[in-house]
Amino acid sequence: MSDAIDHSIAWDALTERAKEARASAYAPYSDYRVGAALLAEDGRVFVGANVENASYGLCQCAERSAIGAAITAGARRFRAIAIVTGGTTPATPCGMCRQVLAEFPPSFPVRCTSIDGGVIESDTASLLPHGFGPGVLAGGRG
């Protein structure tokens, strides 16, 4: 994990927004509720919660809910994301979310907090080393 976390981010406030979003999670199957708060470059914050489905493969994570809200509102560049999960051990984004977050370079910091206070700090580039991204497409056409 990176120690290059951006301390100019108002992490406590962003984490509180993620915690509030977590309260809206739809998680009737796992009861594993997650909230995310995504800080856009222009200062707007977009929140998301996980949305489960009886057809389990259709579940959507909080991070992707937040990204969807941001994209819908026209945001494309991000400064940070805070993620809040339950329990004592914070969870980092799943592989699918790492790929989705990496779609929006440059890399930005990720702060994962458990409701009981554990913290993991990283950034989107570190979470997906050697990832497939827009640059790969641009360099491999033809």
Closest C-alpha to 92, from 114, 59, 67? 114
- In the residue annotation, 63 being an active-site residue is answered as yes
Q: Looking at beta carbons only, is 71 or 94 nearer to Zn ion?
A: 94
Residues engaged in binding Zn ion (CB under 5 A): 61, 94, 97
Q: Which is nearer to Zn ion, 13 or 94 (CB)?
A: 94
C-beta separation of 34 from 83 below 8 A: yes
Which residues are CB-contacts of 41 (< 8 A; sequence separation ≥ 6)? 75, 77, 78, 79
Q: How many helices (H) and strands (E) does the chain have?
A: 5, 5
Catalytic choice (16, 52, 63, 121): 63
Min CB(24)–Zn ion separation in Å: 17
**Which residue's beta carbon is nearest to the bound Zn ion?**
61
Q: How far is the CB of 142 from Zn ion (least distance, A)?
A: 33
Least Å distance between CB 58 and Zn ion? Answer: 13
